[in-house]
Structure 1
Amino acid sequence: MSKSDQGYTGLGFILKDTLQWSNEAPINYPQVIAGFIGMAGCISLGFYLNHLMFGLVSTFGVMITNDTSSNGTIKKHATELFRTMATGTVAIFIGIIIAGNGWVTGGLIVMISTLAALLGGISRSVAIASVQFVILSIIGSSMGDGLLHQDIFRVPAYFASGSLLGIILSVIAGYLMQKSDHNVSVQTAKLSYKQRFTLWRSKLIHFTGWKYTVRVALCMIAAQLMGIVFHLERSYWIGLTVAIVLKRDLAYSQRRIFQRGIGTAAGVLLGSCLLLWSLPQWNSVVVIGLLGALRPIFKNRSYAIYAMLMTPLMLMMFSTGSPVTAHLLEYRLLDTMIGCVLAYVLGFYIWNNASQGNVVGKT
């Protein structure tokens, strides 16, 4: 067992582990192509129609479907993409409904996150969908303080449009490049939905089956309290960070927390260049497209670099039509760091120490 698997927390090891580079994951060229054309296309269409909200929300749709990968057939991949599209559209819809109600909104986000964490234990696919649901619910709730209620159906429709474009591009690119893919998929025995559900229910008899759910609940409660009590302007980034970095495996959570924190800090430095270099609209389309193409390459090879690239990408998207300001960079860095600290203390540290204490007690 490696030190990382044991939850080793030495500073030198953490930094080495955080900055490591992996060549194990092959480059998924259909994802790269779909990411560039889809994201650049949605933003450019938003500029062309003078409808920046469409450009922003539809680009999120492309991003979510572009994060869905599969080693199976094109038909199976398309099915997974449509499930992702449906999950994301419903999440955005719910996020807009609950937006702008202060403590009520915060409480509902905690409830959604906790329920999603609990249900995610059924299977890996449900776990992935549950995290996506939480992330997009938070994004939906961040789209105004209730002012978007008049667009309660329009905004999810924009997201679905971008998702559909991402699906079409991914399927076409996958079909055109399938001849060059010599990977042979190995068929393994799969549990039925009933068997998975029965196994999941049996785990809930013991506290171990609830541990991840409790970790998520604690972190999300703290995230919402921080934003509401201290009136943080873009506090939704705190909850987003928690949802992204908090994983079921403790050692994996530790790595993600440090990777996200270091990557975001580097990304803010990279994003500060935008203060000095104001891109024209159509030049920013190319930059967003390039960043969209690089995302799937670095996500599985160096998550720290991935987080670094995501920071200026998100800043450009959220400030589309207006310049990136120093305050926006400060909010991004501060909220991300708060989210990482909460995830580390409440979602990793106290649980890791408890686990080590139990092991020592048994020896």
Structure 2
Amino acid sequence: MGAVGVVVLAAGAAVVGGFSRWTADATARFITFLVMATGLGGAAWEVARWFAVGVAWAILLGLAAAAFSAPGAPAGGVPTYGQLWRRWWGSLHRFEGWRYAVCLVPALAVAEVIGVWWHQEKAYWIALAVVIVVRRRGGSLLRATQRCLGTCAGVLVGGALVLWVPPSWAIVAVVSVLAGLRPLLKERNYAAYATVMTPLVVLLMDLGRTPGLSTIGYRLIDTVIGCLIAILPTLVLRRRYVA
């Protein structure tokens, strides 16, 4: 039932995310953390409290930065909510409005089925790899392949960082560097972006724990399986458009 709930919630978020750029980013984060929460088991609520503390701290830092920054010029041509609603509703009458959901939901469903039947501690990484690789924008086969390669490389980098067992200050420094690189790489190189993003997820999930080599090996296998599943919808749609 948990796997079914993840797929249903992800499907709803995928459709709603087409409303605006803000909702697209918010729903992408929602789906990612939804899948991550399935790997936390009974500790999910405990972790959620600390996440709330982190969100509150980030908001305070954002407000402080905004207070000391120079006000920018008002953006011209910002669409109203009415315009956004009409555009979103109109997109649902075309295939493009459903494209992200069509790519994500079947792949995520397959990943969840494999995770349920394959009784393995890190099987949720199959679904997580699907969520990372299948994106609303940049749906070409080349970019999907770049994200797959970057995600696999990121798992290895993140695993090495966790096995190193760095002190707390080093973890903060590594996370700061990786987080700073994300926006710079997001629009320039998808492989490098995924390579940077995935270690952040690994550090987040394994903070305070030291997994063995077998755990990292399973995680890499799960990631490869998830990437292969995630590429299939792109291949199918590519054939559709070519035909």
Taking structure 1 as reference, are residues 267 and 280 closer, same or farther at Cα in structure 2, changes over 3 Å only? same
Rounded to whole Å, the distance in 2 between the matches of 1:274 and 1:156 is 24
Rounded to whole Å, the distance in 2 between the matches of 1:295 and 1:207 is 30
Q: Which runs of 5+ in 1 are unaligned?
A: 1-103, 358-363
User: Is the Cα contact below 8 Å between 2:129 and 2:227 reproduced in 1?
Assistant: yes
- Residue 139 (structure 1) aligned with residue 36 (structure 2): yes
Say which of 47, 58, 62 aligns to 1:170: 62
- Residue 218 (structure 1) aligned with residue 110 (structure 2): no
Rounded to whole Å, the distance in 1 between the matches of 2:186 and 2:99 is 27
Matches within 5 A, 1:287-306: 287-306=174-193
Q: Which residue of 2 aligns with 1:349?
A: 235
Rounded to whole Å, the distance in 1 between the matches of 2:49 and 2:242 is 48
Which structure's CA Rg is the greater one? Answer: 1
Taking structure 1 as reference, are residues 158 and 323 closer, same or farther at Cα in structure 2, changes over 3 Å only? closer
Taking structure 1 as reference, are residues 167 and 120 closer, same or farther at Cα in structure 2, changes over 3 Å only? same
Matches within 5 A, 1:100-119: 104-119=1-16
User: Is the Cα contact below 8 Å between 2:163 and 2:212 reproduced in 1?
Assistant: no
TM-score scaled by length of structure 2: 0.83
Question: Displacement, 1:219?
Answer: 1.1
User: Is the Cα contact below 8 Å between 2:155 and 2:202 reproduced in 1?
Assistant: no
Q: Which residue of 1 aligns with 2:43?
A: 148
- Residue 127 (structure 1) aligned with residue 24 (structure 2): yes
TM-score scaled by length of structure 1: 0.58
% identical aligned pairs:
33
Q: Which amino acid aligns with 1:172?
A: A
SS in 2 for 1:323: coil
Question: Displacement, 1:167?
Answer: 1.8
Matches within 5 A, 1:31-70: none
Rounded to whole Å, the distance in 2 between the matches of 1:169 and 1:115 is 31
SS in 1 for 2:208: coil
- Residue 314 (structure 1) aligned with residue 209 (structure 2): no
Q: Which runs of 5+ in 2 are unaligned?
A: none
User: Is the Cα contact below 8 Å between 2:163 and 2:211 reproduced in 1?
Assistant: no
Q: Which amino acid aligns with 1:124?
A: R
User: Is the Cα contact below 8 Å between 1:271 and 1:329 reproduced in 2?
Assistant: no
Q: Which moved more, 1:126-135 or 1:219-228?
A: 126-135
User: Is the Cα contact below 8 Å between 1:315 and 1:324 reproduced in 2?
Assistant: no
User: Is the Cα contact below 8 Å between 1:265 and 1:308 reproduced in 2?
Assistant: yes
Q: Which amino acid aligns with 1:113?
A: A
Say which of 222, 227, 235 aligns to 1:335: 222
Taking structure 1 as reference, are residues 253 and 114 closer, same or farther at Cα in structure 2, changes over 3 Å only? farther
Rounded to whole Å, the distance in 2 between the matches of 1:282 and 1:201 is 48
Rounded to whole Å, the distance in 1 between the matches of 2:11 and 2:195 is 28
After superposition, give the CA deviation of every residue in 1:60-112 in whole Å (9 maximum; x if it has no partner). Answer: xxxxxxxxxxxxxxxxxxxxxxxxxxxxxxxxxxxxxxxxxxxx011111101
Say which of 212, 217, 224 aligns to 1:325: 212
Rounded to whole Å, the distance in 2 between the matches of 1:206 and 1:308 is 34
SS in 1 for 2:2: helix
Rounded to whole Å, the distance in 2 between the matches of 1:312 and 1:330 is 15
SS in 2 for 1:213: helix
User: Is the Cα contact below 8 Å between 2:123 and 2:219 reproduced in 1?
Assistant: no
Q: CA RMSD in A?
A: 2.8
